[in-house]
Amino acid sequence: MNTQQQANPPRLLLVEDDTTSQAFFHTTLMALPATVDTAASLADARQLAQANRHALWLVDANLPDGTGPELLRYLRTRQAGVPALAHTADTSPETRQALLQAGFDRVLLKPLAGSALLASVREALAGAAAPTAEAPDWDENAALQALNGQGAHVIALRELFMTELPGARAAVSSALQQHDTGALRAQLHRLQASCGFVGASRLGSAVRQLHQAPDSDMARRQFDAAVNALLHH
Spatial contact of 41 and 64, defined as CB atoms under 8 Å apart:
yes
Q: What is the 3-state secondary structure of 174-191?
A: HHHHCCCHHHHHHHHHHH
Question: Mean per-residue pLDDT for 64-72?
Answer: 95
- 132: confidence class by pLDDT, cuts 50, 70, 90: very low
Q: Cα separation of 93 and 99, whole Å?
A: 10
On whether the pTM is more than 0.75, the answer is: no
Residue 81 has pLDDT above 80, yes or no: no
How are beta strands 66-67 and 62-63 bridged, if at all? antiparallel
Amino acid (one-letter) located at 90? D
Residue partners of 68: CB distance under 8 A and separation at least 6: 15, 59, 60, 61, 62, 86, 88, 99, 102, 104
How are beta strands 35-39 and 66-67 bridged, if at all? unpaired
Q: What domains lie within the chain, and their CATH numbers?
A: 3-126 (3.40.50.2300), 132-231 (1.20.120)
Residue 7 is predicted with a pLDDT of: 52
